[in-house]
Amino acid sequence: MSKFEATGRTLDEAIETALVSLGIRRDNADIEVLNEPNQGLLGIIGNKDARVIVKMKLEPAQYLQSYLQELLQYMNVEGSVVVGEDDEKLEAEVSGSDVGSLIGRRGKTLSDLQYLLNVIMRRQFAGLNKMIFLDVENYRSRREKTLTQLAKNVARKVIQEGREQALEPMSPQERRIIHLALHDLPDITTYSDGEEPYRKVVIAPS
Amino acid sequence: MKQLLEHIAKGLVDEPDQVEVKQVESERLIVLELKVAPDDMGKVIGKQGRIAKAIRTVMNAAAIKENKRVVVEIVQ
């Protein structure tokens, strides 16, 4: 568990130093006072600094799990949250029978909620250098399969007809999936055209 | 709805104790007024309103479940 020991002229100063070092907020901190500060005689002799140990109550993965679980409750969504973690990312997976409203039209709610979670987690843990990924009932992996299939079908048609074709507007993540799916095909190039949020991938013969 | 917006706002700001949400509700419409500490205004709005937009998307998703429309106003 992450903790930090700090000293300061006042208790607040010591606590603040420890919070900044851990990169967390006071409400996610357990504070143990080791020494009360002591203004010695005439403020000269026997001055003693405050000394505290501050512990992180919830590590990032736990915090994300409980934050998201509480969010579902306020949204009246019955679902459970599991968070996985590795060196680069935190992955939150929501499952349940009633979680469709978290996905939204073409995954819009899902990607906006993922964005919010990234901002919130960075605010709560200043030193956090991991991306936060959110998935609901495997929507992203299912969507990735669909998009890859779509890309290949359209690419085949483009090669046959020798004419470029634009797909429907997609988010940057979705466009990336298309580019990657066709990356290895020698007869095809892909590029994006238009302005967000209407930017689309164009598949063209090379 | 009120609790949901409070939960999101508290995650974003530096001073969660100063987050206040007022809810006015009619048959089809919910209006939520979000108030935060002056220094936290930018934290709930974001560059080019990106955070505020994302908040509204999530609030809308919750409102649709209740068959309502929701308006989020960020007030001073």
Q: Tell me: do A29 and A88 sit in the same domain.
A: no
* B60 CA: distance to closest CA in chain A (Å): 9
Here the CATH number for the domain that contains residue A81 is 3.30.300.20
Tell me the three state secondary structure of residue B41.
helix
Q: Tell me: do A119 and A164 sit in the same domain.
A: no
Q: Tell me: do A64 and A52 sit in the same domain.
A: no
Here the CATH number for the domain that contains residue A199 is 3.30.1370.50
ipTM of this complex: 0.95
In this structure, what are the phi and psi dihedrals at residue A49, rounded to the nearest 5 degrees?
-75, 160
**Whole-number pLDDT of residue A40:** 65
* Residue whose tokens read 């499952």: A95
Q: Tell me: do A155 and A201 sit in the same domain.
A: yes
* A37 CA: distance to closest CA in chain B (Å): 27
- Could you tell me the pLDDT band of residue B76, with boundaries at 50, 70 and 90? confident
- A120 touches B at CB < 8 Å: yes
Please say which residue of A137, A164, A184 terminates a domain.
A137
Please say which residue of A91, A118, A137 terminates a domain.
A137
Q: Are the CB atoms for B31 and B71 separated by under 8 Å?
A: yes
Please say which residue of A137, A172, A196 terminates a domain.
A137
> Which one of A74, A94, A103, A110 makes the best mutation probe of the B interface by having the most chain B beta carbons within 10 Å?
A74
**Whole-number pLDDT of residue A41:** 63
pLDDT in tens, A8-49: 999 999 999 999 999 999 999 999 999 888 876 666 666 788
Q: Tell me: do A119 and A67 sit in the same domain.
A: yes
Contact A108 B57 (CB under 8 A): yes
Tell me the residue range of the domain where A32 lies.
3-56
**Whole-number pLDDT of residue A46:** 67
Rounded alpha-carbon distances, angstroms, from residue A99 to A18, B2, B12: 39, 20, 24
**Whole-number pLDDT of residue A171:** 87
Which residues, given as ranges, of chain A have pLDDT below 50? none
Domain count, chain A: 3
pTM: 0.85
Q: Tell me: do A8 and A44 sit in the same domain.
A: yes
Neighbouring residues of A153: CB distance < 8 A, sequence distance ≥ 6: none
> Which one of B4, B14, B39 makes the best mutation probe of the A interface by having the most chain A beta carbons within 10 Å?
B4
**Whole-number pLDDT of residue A47:** 75
In this structure, what are the phi and psi dihedrals at residue A183, rounded to the nearest 5 degrees?
-50, -40
Contact B11 A108 (CB under 8 A): no
**Whole-number pLDDT of residue A44:** 63
Contact B61 A76 (CB under 8 A): no
DSSP state of A10: S
Q: Tell me: do A126 and A146 sit in the same domain.
A: no
Q: How far is the C-alpha of A58 from the C-alpha of A7, rounded, in Å?
A: 23
**Whole-number pLDDT of residue A43:** 60
**Whole-number pLDDT of residue A196:** 86
Query: What secondary structure does DSSP assign to A50-75, as a single string?
Result: EEEEEEESS-HHHHHHHHHHHHHHHT
* A10 CA: distance to closest CA in chain B (Å): 22
Q: Tell me: do A104 and A70 sit in the same domain.
A: yes
Q: Tell me: do A75 and A41 sit in the same domain.
A: no
Q: Tell me: do A130 and A70 sit in the same domain.
A: yes
Between the two ends of chain A, the Cα-to-Cα distance in Å is 55
Using only C-alpha atoms, chain A has a radius of gyration, in whole angstroms, of: 25
Contact A101 B65 (CB under 8 A): yes
Query: Is a pLDDT exceeding 70 seen at residue B54?
Result: yes
Q: Tell me: do A45 and A82 sit in the same domain.
A: no
**Whole-number pLDDT of residue A1:** 60
